[in-house]
Amino acid sequence: MFGAALYIQWLRYQDLQILQKRLKILAYFGLFHGFILWAGDILFIYACAGWFTCKYLNQADEIIVKRAVQFLSIGAAVSFLLLLIEPSHPLSRADIEFSQSYQDIYASWAALMSANAIAFFIMIIAVPLITIWMSAGLMLVGIFAYKKELFVKGIPNQYVKHFFVAALFFTALRVILEYQSSHLAVALREPVNLYAALFVALLFIHVVAKKWSQGRLFYTSFQCMGRLALSVYIMQTLILLLLFKVLYPSWILIFNRIDYFLLVTIIAILQLLLCQLYNHFFKYGPLEILWRKLSS
């Protein structure tokens, strides 16, 4: 979606300097968000990958597809090799290391912010190695999909079955790898997850374009949220920080996957309703307005 939006802006402005300035401001948003609020920030990654993707906005379709495949392959390969060479040991709440880490991090606000900043700094180091390749590859897929009207007409009928088989294969393989403990299996999880997510996302776009794009409430709700994407993203961080870091830090010790799923579903529904209401009165979100002003 970010790649498609970048291409739409390119068609509107035909000026790389405008796009690059917007991406630079987005990178500043990401750095603030990552160091101060949440180390899992994606804004900085999107800005870096978007800057890299800009050079292909005016390229032929063949070049875009070729580079997308290459970038995704590079990201998957580097991720696999790094995890194979230095496999990570996943911690569970039963481990002593987890309990000690929890106590250290939640000892004070200074310790909490310090741990967050260190984690984000490590993530920034990983950007040129892995993340920028994966993100740029996905953005190029989005550009190609937009040019081929995938967001309007869906996947061509002759290819739907192939996409479905690919999504099913990679998803099933990822589930199988989750229950394997060998170094090879652990190293394969992230690359396989990348391709599973890609094909599932493309199928989801196909379903939305084919089945839900005719003025349905579900579709229009997502349109409203899309206009406020940056504000909604930061709002999610603030809500979850308030819940898990301030009001109920013990949730980290007791929540299971069903609890997390129910919580984020409730938050998503509330945000969908809030965005519908907000769009009746305002065209842009507060952070979108700030982004535009800083980029002008």
Residue 212 vs residue 152, higher pLDDT: 152
Q: What is the mean pLDDT of residues 97-105?
A: 80
The lowest-confidence range among 120-134, 145-159, 222-236 is 120-134
| Average pLDDT of span 8-25 | 92
Confidence of residue 85 (pLDDT cuts 50, 70, 90): confident
Residue 214 has pLDDT above 70, yes or no: no
Residues 208-217, mean pLDDT to the nearest whole number: 71
**In this predicted model, what pLDDT tens digit does every residue of 139-151 receive, in sequence order?**
999 999 999 999 9
DSSP per-residue codes, the chain: -HHHHHHHHHHHH--HHHHHHHHHHHHHHHHHIIIII-TT--HHHHHHHHHHHGGGTTS-HHHHHHHHHHHHHHHHHHHHHHHHHS------TTSHHHHHHHHHHTT-HHHHHHHHHHHHHHHHHHIIIIIHHHHHHHHHHHHHHHHTTHHHH-S-HHHHHHHHHHHHHHHHHHHHHHT--SHHHHHHHHHHHHHHHHHHHHHHHHHHHHHS-SS-HHHHHHHHHHHTHHHHHHHHHHHHHIIIIII-TTHHHH--HHHHHHHHHHHHHHHHHHHHHHHTT-SS-HHHHHHHHHH-
Question: Does the pLDDT at position 218 exceed 80?
Answer: no
